[in-house]
Amino acid sequence: MNKGKAKLYIADLLLLFLFVAVDQFTKYLAVLKLKGQPDVPIIDNVLTLQYLENYGAAFGLLQNQKTFFIISASLFLCLILFVIIKMPNSPKYHHSHLLLVAVAAGAAGNLLDRVRLGYVVDFVYIELINFPIFNVADMYVTFSAALIAVQILFVFEDEDLAFLFSKKQS
């Protein structure tokens, strides 16, 4: 492994820890300040802080499927690691590194909750559109995955993604 790639991996790892720490800290605050308390409106009828112990996925799907979520998240994290390792060390991909780290941090943050607590702590509710209650980890995954999709569809050419299918390591 060359020095530039090692520096990039170290930066990725530091960002991952930072993002997970922010997610876990916000969940800690949600437990401390919101659990057992009335909802806290931030913007009336638009945005509310509301504590929820989520044993499933969004929209109440897959309730009490802890093992499924732990295995799925672990496999997903392995896939992200594979992509990061295969990705060339080029400025063209630095945004992709950041986005993949954010997705990994979201998956890891919710995985930590499931392993440690048996559920995920959610606390942000967009009342205006009756969106399922979510957390910072969910924001990492949603926004980063959307931006990755934009990159794949509108920025990268086919050859920019060839590294995923080549036998040699970039």
pLDDT digits (tens, 9 = 90+) for 58-100: 767 788 899 999 999 999 999 999 999 999 999 999 999 999 9
**E strand segments, the chain:** 40-43, 47-54, 120-126
Give the amino acid at 64: N
Of 39, 122, 158, 160, catalytic? 122
Of 23, 44, 113, 138, catalytic? 138
d(CA 64, CA 167): 40
Angle made by CA atoms 22, 140, 144, in degrees to the nearest 5? 145
Residues of the chain short of pLDDT 70, as ranges, are 59, 168-170
* pLDDT value of position 95: 95
* pLDDT value of position 59: 63
- 160 part of the active site: no
Partners of 52 in the β-ladder: 122
- 138 part of the active site: yes
